[in-house]
């Protein structure tokens, strides 16, 4: 593949499409694996290029330089589901994969909180010998209220 076929990445490019094009380009390019990351960077502009040119030269010139480049760019394009405005943009974009990723992330966060609080309840049961049943029930109710896993009206 000639250099003119190198995938272009800029602030307006769809990142997931660019990654697919890079995978195809890597198959057909005559550039060696050690040259590929530098060729991709020279066909970037804007924020992607700013992030990419700050990577160590030896990492970019390695056999897996493209993988290291993409790993760094993934951080740039990672969707932030904690930011309400960005989350609304994701929902409005009809990007089903991103919406599913956000839902799974929210569920994993609630599960982690639930497991942490269950561990706290278990430790209270072990150490509160005076009234373990009442103590556990109160902490369990508080845990459910905080996590929202069970309705607050129950």
pLDDT the model gives residue 100: 72
pLDDT value at 21 more than 60: yes
CB 37 within 8 A of CB 73: no
Per the model's pLDDT, the better-predicted residue between 152 and 71 turns out to be 71
Q: Which residues contact 96 (CB under 8 A, 6 or more apart)?
A: none
Q: How confident is the model at residue 58 (pLDDT cuts 50, 70, 90)?
A: very high
Gap between the Cα atoms of 60 and 114, Å rounded: 42
Residues 132-152: b if buried by 16+ CB within 10 A, e if exposed:
eeebeeebeeebbeebeeeee
Q: What is the pLDDT of residue 68?
A: 92
The pLDDT value recorded for residue 75 is 84
Q: Is the pLDDT assigned to residue 132 strictly greater than 60?
A: no
Quickly state the pLDDT bin for 154 (edges 50, 70, 90): very low
76-116 pLDDT, tens digit each: 887 656 666 666 666 666 666 666 777 777 777 777 777 77
What does pLDDT average to over the chain?
A: 78
So what's the pLDDT on residue 152? 46
Helix axis angle for 96-127 and 132-147, nearest 10°, is 160
Nearest to 71 by CA among 51, 90, 92, 87: 51
Q: What is the pLDDT of residue 123?
A: 66
Closest CA to 73 of 95, 53, 91: 53
pLDDT of residue 15: 86
Please write the tens of the pLDDT for every residue from 111-130: 777 777 777 766 665 555 55
């Amino acid at each position: 593949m000639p250099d003119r076929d190198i995938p272009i990445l800029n602030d307006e490019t769809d990142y997931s499409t660019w990654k697919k094009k890079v995978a195809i380009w890597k198959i057909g390019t005559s550039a060696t694996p050690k040259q590929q990351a530098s060729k991709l960077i020279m066909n970037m502009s804007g924020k992607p290029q700013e992030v990419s040119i700050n990577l160590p030269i030896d990492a970019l010139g390695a056999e897996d330089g493209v993988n290291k480049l993409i790993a760094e760019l993934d951080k740039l394009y990672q969707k932030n589901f904690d930011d309400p405005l960005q989350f609304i943009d994701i929902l409005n974009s009809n990007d089903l994969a991103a919406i599913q990723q956000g839902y799974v992330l929210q569920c994993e966060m609630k599960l982690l909180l639930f497991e942490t609080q269950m561990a706290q309840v278990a430790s209270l049961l072990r150490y509160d010998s005076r009234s373990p049943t009442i103590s556990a029930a109160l902490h369990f109710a508080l845990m459910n209220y905080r996590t929202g896993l069970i309705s607050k009206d129950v």
